[in-house]
């Protein structure tokens, strides 16, 4: 399966963070292309295999640590790197949020995720899979679906199939915002009750907002607040966040 490795554009000039090295088969495949690789693995049983790889490849190092517990940027001293990861389902959400919202120096990512999660990242507004994570990913990265991987390729065999997701970090957002943190908080807040109308969600999040101000705000953004929050696109959330931020700065919120 060439596509994931081709997307990473492997070369001796590249640095790669591997999350979940396991027995090192993928690690070896990457190392043969010459990049520097730092692998994170939580299972101590793989230490002998990884030590052997370290002896074979001078550009390889590993740590037996949880990928959620340390700064990836710091591992590479603030230099750019790309990511390859086979991500366990139980940490997928926290790990994606860490990658998208807290780590700043990654350039490309190839993640093997449960197919359900890959659908969430690619879902259009209004679909049941559409979520705050979808919007965070769309705000920070260009996303493509890669090859599907049958559950039969794994042992023990899981209950579901997996799929690769390819992410390329955006240098600038498609829709500029005044306050990134405010936008992300607005998205997270409205998706806490995603089935409610946007007007009800805004009144819940901003108790000082009056009905009159809400109508005024609706006329400014140009779309109906009777819509459910789960139907808004990233562009619509960005426009709403910018207007709300301006009102906040003018002490109207």
Supply 45's token pair.
């049983």
Work out the pLDDT band at 248, boundaries 50, 70, 90: confident
- Identical fold, 3-169 and 180-249: no
Predicted pLDDT of residue 60: 98
Average pLDDT of the chain? 93
Predicted pLDDT of residue 204: 95
Q: Is the pLDDT of residue 252 over 60?
A: no
Share of the chain above pLDDT 90, in %: 87
CATH for 3-169 is 3.40.50.150
- pTM, two decimal places: 0.91
* Mean pLDDT of all residues in 7-11: 97
Per-domain residue ranges of the chain: 3-169, 180-249
- Helix, strand, coil % in the chain, rounded to nearest 5: 45, 20, 35
pLDDT digits (tens, 9 = 90+) for 198-242: 999 999 999 988 999 999 999 999 999 999 999 999 999 999 999
Predicted pLDDT of residue 247: 82
DSSP assignment of 83-142: EEEE--GGGHHHHHHIIIII--SEEEEEEEEEHHHHHHHHPPTTSTT--HHHHHHHHHEE
* Residue 222: Cβ within 10 Å count: 9
Question: What b-and-e string marks burial along 153-167, b requiring 16 or more CB atoms within 10 Å of the CB?
Answer: eeeeeeeebbbbbbb
Predicted pLDDT of residue 152: 61
- Spatial separation of the C-alpha atoms in residues 34 and 13, rounded to whole Å: 8
Predicted pLDDT of residue 156: 62
pLDDT digits (tens, 9 = 90+) for 100-159: 999 999 999 999 999 999 999 999 999 999 999 999 999 999 999 999 887 666 656 667
* Mean pLDDT of all residues in 160-175: 94
Topology at the third CATH level for domain 180-249? Helicase, Ruva Protein; domain 3 (1.10.8)
């Amino acid at each position: 399966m060439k596509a994931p490795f081709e997307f990473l554009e492997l070369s001796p000039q590249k640095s790669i963070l591997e999350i979940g090295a396991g027995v090192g088969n993928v690690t070896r495949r990457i190392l043969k292309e010459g990049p520097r690789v730092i692998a994170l693995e939580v299972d101590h049983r793989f230490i002998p295999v990884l030590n052997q790889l370290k002896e074979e490849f001078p550009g390889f190092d590993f740590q037996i640590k949880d990928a959620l517990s340390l700064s990836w940027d710091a591992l590479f001293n603030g230099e750019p790197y790309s990511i390859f990861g086979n991500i366990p389902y139980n940490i997928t959400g926290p790990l994606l949020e860490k990658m998208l919202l807290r780590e700043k120096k990654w350039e490309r990512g190839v993640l093997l995720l449960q197919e359900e999660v890959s659908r969430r990242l690619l879902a259009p507004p209004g679909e049941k899979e559409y979520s705050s994570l979808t919007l965070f990913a769309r705000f920070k990265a260009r996303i493509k679906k890669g090859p599907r991987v049958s559950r039969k390729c794994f042992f023990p065999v899981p209950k579901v199939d997996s799929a690769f997701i390819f992410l390329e970090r955006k240098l600038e957002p498609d829709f500029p915002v005044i306050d990134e943190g405010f936008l992300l908080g607005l998205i997270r807040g409205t998706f806490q009750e995603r089935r409610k109308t946007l007007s009800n969600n805004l009144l819940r999040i901003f108790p000082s907002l009056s009905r009159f101000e809400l109508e005024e705000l609706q006329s400014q953004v140009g779309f109906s607040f009777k819509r459910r929050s789960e139907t808004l696109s990233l562009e619509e959330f960005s426009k709403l966040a910018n207007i709300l931020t301006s009102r906040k700065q003018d002490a109207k919120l």
